[in-house]
C-alpha cells in the first residue's frame, strides 16, 4: 500500500538499563536517523523494535476507542465538551471511515507487521550460527505478527496479508490460517521461560494460549478446547491463577504465574512504557492525575452488582471519593468512575506509564476451555473450568447443565473477568450479542454494518482498488 505499508523499518536506538525490561527500553521511531545510518544492527535489535511498537501513543488513546469505549463496558468519559478527537463517536457508534482512531490502529498494526516480517528476514539472512537463538528470534517475531493480524481480522474481517498483496484483501479464513501458522511455528521454537534479563519476551506458552483464543474466535471448538486444556495442564509452562484477583494489576502481579504475555513497561526502575496509557485513563479533577477517558459505564457497574461480584468490581472500577489500595485518596473527581486496571501507583499520570498491559492470562484460558467444552457437550468440564474462575472471587458455583444457559453464563463471566482488557467489543460481535447489548446501553448497533470497522478513508485514497466493508 502506498502509505501505510511502505515502511522504512530500522530500530533507532537501544538504551541499556539494568532492569528486567532492558530489551524493551527502546525508541520506536519509524525511520533511522541519518547519523545512525551506518550502524550494524543485530537481529535481536530488530526484534526489540517490534516490541517497541506496542508502547506508542496509539495504544494510550486510539486503542481505547476501538476496543473499550465502543462497547457497553465503557463511556467516553472526560468532560462532556472534550470529544477526545473522535472518542465520542465511538461511544455513540456514529464513527465513520474518517475516524482518526481507526486510521491510527490500522496503520499501527500494519507497521508492526512490517517490522516483524523484516525482522524475520533479517534474522534468516544475518548469518547467525546459533540455530536455537536465531529460531527463537524468528518465533518472537511471528508471535507479535500474529497478535497484530488477530486485531485486524477481528476488526475488519477480510484484510490484506502484507507479504502477499498490499491491495487485495485476503478472506478472513486465509488470515486466520496465517495466524495459526505463525503461532504454531512460534510454539516449535520459543522457550517456555526466560532469564530475568529477558523477562517479557514471547514464550511458547504465550503462543499456545493465543492459539486457543484464535480457535475460539473461529468457533473451532475442539482445537480451542485442546489448546486451552494443554496450556492449563502443562508442567512445562507451569501457569497458575493468583489467589487474589486484585493483585493481577498491581506491581506485584506483573509477569506473575497467571501471565502468558504482557506489554512490558517497567523494571527495577521506572522505564519507558506505553506512552500515557495510565494518564489518559486516570481520574480527572483537582484530586486526579489524568484525563479521565475510557470510564466504566453504569451498565458494567450494574452487571457486577447484579452478580454480587464485589471483588472484581472493586478491582476494576475506581470510584469517586474512595481510597485506593496504596492509600491514595480519590476526591470529588469529574467522572464518577475510572478504570482501575490502568492505574499506576508508582507513576500516577506521568507521560510514560510504568504499567504493564496484561494481554493474555490464565484466567481467560480457563474461560476458553469452559466455552469450548460446553459447545462440545463436555458439560462437567465446562462447569469445572467456569467455577474455577468464580471460586477465586467467592461467587457461587454455576450448576446448570443446559447448554444454552451455560453458554450465556460463560459469556457473562468473560465480561466480568476480562472487563477493560480490550476484548469486550469483539466478544459481543463474535457471540451475536452486540445488538441487544448495545441497545441496553442506549447505543444502536446496525446489523450488517457494525460487525466490521470501515477501511480507513485515507487507505482507500491511497489504494482506491481496495474494497470497503458493507454499508460504510
One-letter-per-residue 3-state SS of 185-204: HHHHHCCCCCCHHHCCCCCH
pLDDT at 266: 64
CB count within 10 Å of CB 135 equals: 18
Q: What is the pLDDT of residue 320?
A: 98
Kindly list the distances between the CA atom of residue 399 and the CA atoms of 292, 353, 394, 410, in Å, as whole numbers in the listed order.
40, 42, 15, 12
Instruction: Report the DSSP beta bridge partners of residue 339.
Output: 317
- What's the helix, strand, coil split of the chain in %, to 5? 50, 10, 45
pLDDT value of residue 12: 33
Separation of alpha carbons 432 and 68, rounded Å = 17
The 3-state secondary structure of 234-301 reads CCCCCCCCCCCHHHHHCHHHCCCCCEEEEECCECCCECCCCECHHHHHCCCCCCCCCCCEEEECHHHH
Q: How far apart are CA 128 and CA 55, in angstroms?
A: 28
pLDDT of residue 38: 57
The answer to whether the beta carbons of residues 230 and 243 sit under 8 Å apart is no
Residue 351: predicted pLDDT? 85
**Burial state string for 271-290 with b = 16 or more CB within 10 A and e = fewer than 16:** bbbbbbbbbbbbbbeeebbb
Query: What CA–CA distances, in Å, run from 68 to 72, 74, 170, 199, 415?
Result: 8, 6, 27, 28, 12
pLDDT of residue 109: 98
Task: Count CA within 13 A, CB hemisphere, residue 255.
Answer: 18
DSSP annotation string for 307-363: HT-HHHHHHHEEETT-B-TTSPBP-S-SSSEEEGGG--TTTTT-SB--PPEEEEEHH
Q: What is the pLDDT of residue 250?
A: 95
Per-residue confidence (pLDDT) for residue 347, from 0 to 100: 85
Strands 74-77 and 293-296: antiparallel
- What pLDDT shows up at residue 39? 66
Does residue 120 contact residue 46 with C-beta atoms inside 8 Å? no
Q: Cα separation of 14 and 210, whole Å? A: 28
Phi, psi angles (nearest 5°) of residue 465: -75, -20
Digitized pLDDT (tens) for each residue of the chain, 472 residues in all: 322 222 223 333 332 222 223 333 333 333 333 334 456 899 999 999 999 999 999 999 999 999 999 999 999 999 999 999 999 999 999 999 999 999 999 999 999 999 999 999 999 999 999 999 999 999 999 999 999 999 999 999 999 999 999 999 999 999 999 999 999 999 999 999 999 999 999 999 999 999 999 999 999 999 999 999 999 999 999 999 999 999 999 989 999 999 999 999 864 455 567 889 999 999 999 999 999 999 999 999 999 999 999 999 999 999 999 999 999 999 999 999 999 999 999 888 888 878 899 999 999 999 999 999 999 999 999 999 999 999 999 999 999 999 999 999 999 999 999 999 999 999 999 999 999 999 999 999 999 999 999 999 999 999 999 999 999 9
Comma-separated ranges of CATH 1.25.40.390 domains in the chain: 1-190+442-472
pLDDT of residue 265: 83
Question: Looking up cell 530489551, which residue turns up?
Answer: 23
d(CA 398, CA 344): 34
The class (CATH top level) of 1-190+442-472 is mainly alpha
Q: Please report the pLDDT score of residue 25 as a whole number.
A: 35
pTM, two decimals, is 0.93
Cell readout for 212 is 486457543
Amino acid at each position: 500500500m502506498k502509505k501505510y505499508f511502505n515502511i522504512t523499518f530500522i530500530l533507532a536506538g537501544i538504551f541499556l538499563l539494568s532492569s528486567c525490561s532492558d530489551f524493551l527500553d527502546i525508541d520506536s521511531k519509524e525511520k533511522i536517523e541519518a547519523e545512525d545510518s551506518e550502524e550494524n544492527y543485530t537481529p535481536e535489535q530488530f526484534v526489540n523494535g517490534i516490541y517497541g511498537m506496542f508502547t506508542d501513543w496509539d495504544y494510550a488513546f486510539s486503542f481505547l476507542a476501538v476496543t473499550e469505549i465502543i462497547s457497553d463496558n465503557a463511556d467516553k468519559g472526560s468532560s462532556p465538551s472534550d470529544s477526545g478527537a473522535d472518542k465520542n463517536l465511538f461511544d455513540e457508534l456514529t464513527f465513520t471511515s474518517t475516524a482518526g482512531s481507526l486510521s491510527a490502529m490500522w496503520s499501527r498494526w500494519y507497521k508492526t507487521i512490517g517490522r516483524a516480517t523484516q525482522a524475520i528476514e533479517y534474522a534468516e539472512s544475518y548469518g547467525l550460527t546459533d540455530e536455537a537463538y536465531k529460531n527463537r528470534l524468528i518465533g518472537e517475531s511471528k508471535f507479535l505478527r500474529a497478535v497484530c493480524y488477530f486485531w485486524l481480522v477481528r476488526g475488519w474481517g477480510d484484510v490484506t496479508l502484507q507479504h502477499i498483496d498490499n491491495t487485495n484483501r485476503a478472506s478472513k479464513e486465509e488470515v486466520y490460517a496465517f495466524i495459526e501458522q505463525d503461532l504454531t511455528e512460534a510454539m516449535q521454537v520459543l522457550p517456555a521461560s526466560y532469564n530475568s534479563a529477558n523477562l517479557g519476551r514471547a514464550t511458547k506458552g504465550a503462543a499456545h494460549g493465543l492459539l486457543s483464543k484464535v480457535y475460539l474466535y473461529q468457533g473451532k471448538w475442539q482445537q480451542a478446547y485442546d489448546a486451552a486444556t494443554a496450556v492449563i495442564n502443562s508442567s512445562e509452562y507451569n501457569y497458575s491463577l493468583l489467589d487474589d484477583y486484585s493483585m493481577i494489576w498491581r506491581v506485584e502481579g506483573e509477569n506473575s504465574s497467571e501471565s502468558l504475555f504482557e506489554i512490558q513497561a517497567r523494571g527495577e526502575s521506572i522505564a519507558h512504557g506505553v506512552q500515557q496509557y495510565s494518564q489518559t485513563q486516570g481520574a480527572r479533577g483537582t484530586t486526579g492525575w489524568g484525563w479521565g477517558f475510557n470510564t466504566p459505564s453504569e451498565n458494567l457497574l450494574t452487571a457486577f452488582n447484579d452478580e454480587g461480584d464485589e471483588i472484581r468490581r472493586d478491582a476494576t472500577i475506581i470510584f469517586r471519593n474512595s481510597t485506593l489500595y496504596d492509600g491514595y485518596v480519590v476526591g470529588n473527581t469529574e467522572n464518577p468512575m475510572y478504570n482501575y486496571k490502568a492505574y499506576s501507583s508508582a507513576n500516577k499520570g506521568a507521560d510514560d506509564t510504568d504499567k504493564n498491559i496484561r494481554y493474555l492470562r490464565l484466567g481467560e484460558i480457563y474461560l476458553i476451555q469452559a466455552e469450548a467444552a460446553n459447545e462440545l457437550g463436555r458439560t462437567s468440564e465446562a462447569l469445572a473450568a467456569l467455577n474455577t474462575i468464580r471460586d477465586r472471587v467467592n461467587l457461587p458455583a454455576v450448576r446448570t447443565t443446559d447448554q444454552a444457559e451455560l453458554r450465556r453464563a460463560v459469556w457473562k463471566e468473560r465480561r466480568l473477568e476480562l472487563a477493560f482488557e480490550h476484548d469486550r467489543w469483539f466478544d459481543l460481535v463474535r457471540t451475536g450479542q452486540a445488538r441487544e447489548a448495545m441497545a441496553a446501553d442506549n447505543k444502536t448497533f446496525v446489523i450488517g454494518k457494525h460487525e466490521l470497522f470501515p477501511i480507513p478513508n485515507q487507505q482507500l485514497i491511497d489504494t482506491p482498488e481496495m474494497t470497503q466493508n458493507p454499508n460504510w
